[in-house]
Amino acid sequence: MASYYRRDDTKKARWLVKYRDRSGRVRSQTCVSEPEARKVAAEKTLEEARHGGRGRPGVAIDTRVTVEDYAIREFLPRVAARNRPATLEVYRRLLETYLLDGRIGTRTLGSVRVDQVHRLDLERLLRGLLQPRGASVPGRLSPRTVLLLTGVLAALFRDARRDGLISDNPAHDLRAPLGLTQRIADERDDDGHALSEAQQAQLTAALGTLASPFLAAFVTFGLNTGCRIGEILGLRWQDVDLEGRELHVGWTLAPVTETRKTLAQRLGRVKSGKARRVQVSTELADLLRRLRVQADARALRLGRPFSSSEFVFADEQGQPYDQGNVRQQFSRLLRRAKLPTTFTPHVLRHTFAVELLKTGAPINLVQAQLGHATITLTMDLYGRWVPSSDRSWIDRLGSRMAVSEAVKERIAVGAEGKRPIFIESQIESQIVEPGGELAKFLSKSRENDPMHPVNLGYTSAARLRS
């Protein structure tokens, strides 16, 4: 918090304001009057509050640091500390491929000082990368990829703000001006991120023509559990309960990279950080039993006893498959099935969730099966497939919360304590010939209409006279 005081050690009285800048250094400013000093102190206090009050003595970050230097020296190490290795690689790839070399005027974003980046610069950069609506321009990115870029930028400048390098985050909520949310929602129309029933049939037919049984088992497993590709490849037999028809999904197998070559480096906790129980159908349990027989036979061929720590989806040497290899196999399967090659194995997860909701399953069951951290995420992704016209749930509630006969009678008699006369029946008896065809028709209509006042217990004037 800035402070000010009067200096009397000069020939002419002066007022001195003390404050900390964004790097944490103590600064001073001389003013000629107390009102001016009070105003400057208030402005400096407000500025400190805007950048979080995080200015501290001894801050090691140079306030003139460029975006590239800050990203490499400060931001990426923090991403590594608070995220999985796979997330770090995504952040690094997006920064190096699209952002740091992106043009801002005549310069690249990476060469600009962090405190000189403006929101409009970032918006123009991303708009130049975004694929135009209804067009296909080579080199442009999909709305989903640009959405990832906005997240990386927002996180980077959020850290810079906490370090006192900037007062406001220029990358905060760039989705709105780019229209990303609406465009992604439009892409999801007509089950756009899940396989339709016809596409599922095409995929199933193509599976029957494969020489390798692995991909057939992998696709079937994904469609029936909704597990992520890394979770499927990281599943071990010790995590499978065939009798209880349940899976313990707590590990994921990351793809092979330069920094993750060994199995120990690739195997890590699931995305949410929490293990979950996944229920399986009787048909899938039967498939798993067949895979277990194959695992026993493989161990016998390799001359070693079967171990429950072995992977469910393993090659002939008992080693788990790599994600990159599986994605290539899946791409070839899509071409054989004459399906869009833009689909990835993740489409199996989306298809599982959509089909499960179409059966009338509760949304919280879908959340539990998928392992979403919050039900809000499940609703955002799949809420439009939740049945909204099924009145059976309301009818069940009505049977439990039935209106008592005493309440019905009290409403029927009204405030005057007697049932009203249905005047329309009296008018009807005067203009319709008794026993005629119209009278029979109206009488039958009353009998078939449960909401007719007479059927609700009200008195008919015609019946009173009779």
* CA pair distance 342, 147, nearest whole angstrom: 18
Q: Are residues 374 and 426 in the same domain?
A: no
Per-residue pLDDT, 390: 63
| Domain contains 278 | yes
Least confident interval from 235-249, 250-264, 387-401: 387-401
Q: Clarify whether residues 435 and 301 are in a common domain.
A: no
Alpha-carbon span 234 to 116, nearest angstrom: 45
Specify whether 411 is located in the same domain as 457: yes
Mean pLDDT (whole number) for 257-268: 74
Q: Decide: 149 and 98 in contact? Cβ < 8 Å.
A: yes
Q: Is the pLDDT of residue 206 over 70?
A: yes
> Model's pTM, two decimal places?
0.62
| Residue 197 structure tokens | 């029933």
Residues 288, 375 within the same domain: yes
Residue 110 lies in a domain: yes
Least confident of 38-52, 159-173, 248-262: 38-52
pLDDT of residue 125: 93
Q: How high is the pLDDT of residue 57?
A: 41
Shortest CA distance to 284 belongs to which of 219, 343, 356? 219
Residue 390 lies in a domain: no
Structure letter (DSSP) for residue 119: H
Q: Tell whether the model's pLDDT for residue 12 goes beyond 80.
A: no
Q: How many helices (H) and strands (E) does the chain have?
A: 22, 12
**Domain match, 71 and 20 both:** no
Same domain, 119 and 165: yes
Q: Tell which wins on pLDDT, 10 or 353.
A: 353
Pairing of strands 421-422, 459-460: parallel
Beta strands 14-20 and 3-7, pairing class: antiparallel
Residue 330 sits in the same domain as residue 455: no
Instruction: Indicate if the pLDDT at residue 326 is higher than 90.
Output: yes
Tell me which of 35-39, 202-206, 399-403 is least confident.
399-403
Give the count of beta carbons closer than 10 Å to the beta carbon of residue 202: 17
Contact (CB, 8 A) for 54 and 163: yes
* Torsion angle of the four alpha carbons 206, 211, 215, 220, in this order, in degrees rounded to the nearest 10: 60
The predicted pLDDT at position 450 comes to: 61
Say whether both 206 and 165 belong to one domain.
no
Q: What pLDDT was estimated at residue 264?
A: 73
Region 286-296: mean pLDDT is 93
Matching residue, tokens 């509630």: 397
The burial class, CB within 10 Å (0-12 / 13-18 / 19+), for 36 is middle
Q: 163 vs 79, 169, 248, CA distance in Å? A: 15, 12, 41
Question: Residue 18 gets which letter from DSSP?
Answer: E
Q: What's the CA gap between 357 and 366, in Å, rounded?
A: 7
Residues 421 and 279 both lie in one domain = no
Per-residue pLDDT for 345 more than 60? yes
How high does pLDDT run on average in the chain? Answer: 81
pLDDT of 423 strictly over 50: no
In this prediction, residue 190 carries a pLDDT of: 43
Mean pLDDT of 117-139: 87
CATH assignment at residue 103: 1.10.150
| 3-state SS assignment for residue 364 | helix
Provide Rg for the chain, Cα atoms.
Answer: 35
According to DSSP, residue 246 is labeled E
Report angle CA 115, 119, 121 to the nearest 5 degrees.
90
217 band by pLDDT with thresholds 50, 70 and 90: very high
Among 187, 215, 246, where does a domain finish?
A: 187
**pLDDT of res. 447:** 66
**For 34-48, how does the pLDDT look when each residue is reduced to its tens digit (9 = 90+)?**
888 888 888 887 777
Q: Which residue did the predictor score with more confidence, 307 or 427?
A: 307
**With bands split at pLDDT 50, 70 and 90, how would you rate the model's confidence at 263?**
confident
Domain housing 157: 67-187
Q: How many CB atoms lie within 10 A of CB 4?
A: 21
Alpha helices in 16-104 (DSSP H): 34-50, 67-70, 76-82, 85-94
**CA–CA separation, 412 vs 51, rounded Å?**
67
- For the chain, what is the domain count? 4
> Is residue 399 included in any domain, yes or no?
no
Under 8 Å between Cβ of 374 and 364 = no
